[in-house]
Amino acid sequence: MVIPERVRCLFGTDGVRDVANNGIMMPEMAMRLGRAFVLFLTERGVPRPRVVVGRDTRRSGVMLESALASGMMSAGADVYALGVFPTPGVSYVIKNAGFDGGGIISASHNPAEYNGIKFLDSGGSKLSDDDEAMIEEYLGDNLLDDWRPTGASIGDLIDESGRVAEYAAWLTGQLAQVGDCRWPIVVDAANGAASDVARSVFSNWRGRVTYTGIQPDGLNINEGVGVIHMNHLAETVKRESAMLGFAYDGDTDRVLLCDGQGRVIDGDIMLWIISRYLASQEMLGRGVVSTVMSNMILDEKMAEEGIEIFRSQVGDRYVVEMMRKTGARLGGEQSGHIIALDYVATGDGLNAGILFLRACRELGEDISTLIDRFPRYPQVLRNIRIPDRESVLASSALEEARNLALQKLSGTGRILLRSSGTEPLLRILVEARDENVTRSVCDELERAIKSIAGEIN
C-alpha cells in the first residue's frame, strides 16, 4: 500500500509567514497553530510538553506571542517565554535545557510589517515537511475544539527571559578561542533579535568594534541595515577603516561579511574557509553540504582540498537533512545560513561569524585577499512568470532545449531549472566560465520556455 505524501498549504520554506494581523498571520491563527503543535507533540508521547517561545523585535511580536502561548497552554503545555531572542538561541536553549520543542515568532529578513511562526523539535532543529503537514492536519482536526484540558491540566506560563545570558555566555566562550586578535570590526545587528546579544558578545573583542543596527524600535527591523542592505555595512566598514564587518538578518540565523574594501564575503566563501579549519580539527565528517545555488568555484576549491561536497535543495533545513543523510558536519547556503553540527542544530549567524574568525586565525588567512582567490563562475538568473510551471518543467520540449544548452556549455558549466515555492515563477540559473556563453545559453532557454508555455496555454 502506498501512503500518499502529505502536502503543506500554510507552511512555506521557513514556517508560516504573512503581513501581521492580516491574511494567515492573525492572532487567531497563531493560537490555533500553538494548539496544533502541542497536539502534535502529545500524540507522539509527550503528555505535558515543556516548550519555549521566542520572538524578534517586531511590534507585532508581542501580540502573536500572546496568542501562540495561549494556544499552547490551552492544549496543556507549559510555555517558557524567552522574550526577544535570536532563532539560533531558541534552538540552543531547547537542545541544552531539555525542552520538548519551541516556537519562534519572526519573519527573518522581511520588512517590519510581516511576521511568521516556525517550530523546532526537541533537538532544536526545524521540523520536516511531513511534520509541518501533520500540524496543518491537526488544524482541521475536531480534537482542537473537542479536547480541552481543564483545571490543573491547563498549561502554565513561565518567564525565561534570563536565558539569553546563557546563550551570550556560550558565544562569548567561542569568541575567546579566537585568541588575541585586535582587528577593527563592524557589527550590524539589523535592528533585530541580535541587537543586545551581539553587543554583549563583542564587548569582549580586544579590537575596536563599531556597532550599527542595534537600536530596534519595533518598526525598523531590516530597514536599511542587515544582510538585505549590505551596502550599509560596506560603507561603514570603509568609513571606520575596519578589517571585517558582520551583518545579520532579523532573527540572526544568517550572517554575511564584508572585507576591508567593502566586498561581500558570502556563505560560499565561509564554507570554503570553515571547512578547511574543521578538517584540520577532524570535525568535518564526510564533507560539506551546499545548495544547488552555490557557485561551481566552491566545488573546485573543495576538490583541491580533497573535501567531498554534497548538494541539497534551497533551504537551511534541507541542508541539515542532507548533512544527516551523508554524515557531513558542515553545511550552508550562499545567503549566509551556516550550520556546523558540532556547535549548533540550525543556522546561527553569530556562531558562524565567530567560527569564521577562528578559522582565519588558525589557518593564517589574509581576509583582504579571500575574494580575489575565489574567482566565481559568472551566473545569470532569470525569473519567468508562468502559471502552469509544472507542465512546462515536465515537457519533453524543455528537456530537449536543456540538452542542447548543455551541449553548448561543453561540460564547463551547469543549468538549473526550478519552480519557485512562493510565486508563479520558473527560475533559470545558468553558470559557466565564459560570461558571453552564459548569457547566450540563458537567452535561448528563456525563449524556449516562453514558447513551450504559450503552446501549453
Residue from 60, 108, 122, 125 carrying the catalytic annotation: 108
Task: Read off the pLDDT of residues 394-441 as tens digits, 9 standing for 90 and up.
Answer: 888 889 989 998 888 887 889 988 887 666 788 899 999 889 999 999
| Structural domains of the chain, ranges and CATH numbers in brackets | 16-159 (3.40.120.10), 165-264 (3.40.120.10), 266-349 (3.40.120.10), 379-456 (3.30.310.50)
pLDDT at residue 390, as a whole number: 83
CA–CA separation, 109 and 251 (whole Å): 8
With cell 578538517, the residue in question is 279
> 123: buried, middle or exposed (CB in 10 Å: 19+, 13-18, 0-12)?
exposed
Range of weakest confidence among 45-59, 67-81, 156-170, 388-402: 388-402
Task: Read off the pLDDT of residues 264-323 as tens digits, 9 standing for 90 and up.
Answer: 999 999 999 999 999 999 999 999 999 998 999 999 999 999 999 999 988 888 999 999
Angle between helices 87-97 and 164-176 (to 10 degrees): 100
CA–CA separation, 328 and 330 (whole Å): 6
Instruction: Confirm whether 108 is a catalytic residue.
Output: yes
Q: Nearest 5°: CA angle at 198, between 196 and 202?
A: 125
% of the chain beyond a pLDDT of 70: 96
Other beta carbons less than 10 A from residue 182's beta carbon: 10
Angle between helices 27-42 and 129-139 (to 10 degrees): 110
Residue 101 has pLDDT above 90, yes or no: yes
| φ/ψ of residue 309, rounded to 5 | -125, 135
| Mean pLDDT, residues 173-191 | 95
Q: How confident is the model at residue 3 (pLDDT cuts 50, 70, 90)?
A: very low
| Mean pLDDT, residues 20-48 | 94
Task: Read off the pLDDT of residues 123-174 as tens digits, 9 standing for 90 and up.
Answer: 999 999 899 999 998 887 665 566 688 899 999 999 999 999 999 999 999 9
pLDDT at residue 456, as a whole number: 67
| Mean pLDDT, residues 326-347 | 96
Q: How confident is the model at residue 122 (pLDDT cuts 50, 70, 90)?
A: very high
- Name 413's Cβ contacts closer than 8 Å, sequence gap at least 6: 296, 377, 430, 431, 432, 433, 437, 438, 441
How does DSSP classify residue 285? B
Contact assessment for residue 323 and residue 339, using Cβ atoms and an 8 Å cutoff: yes
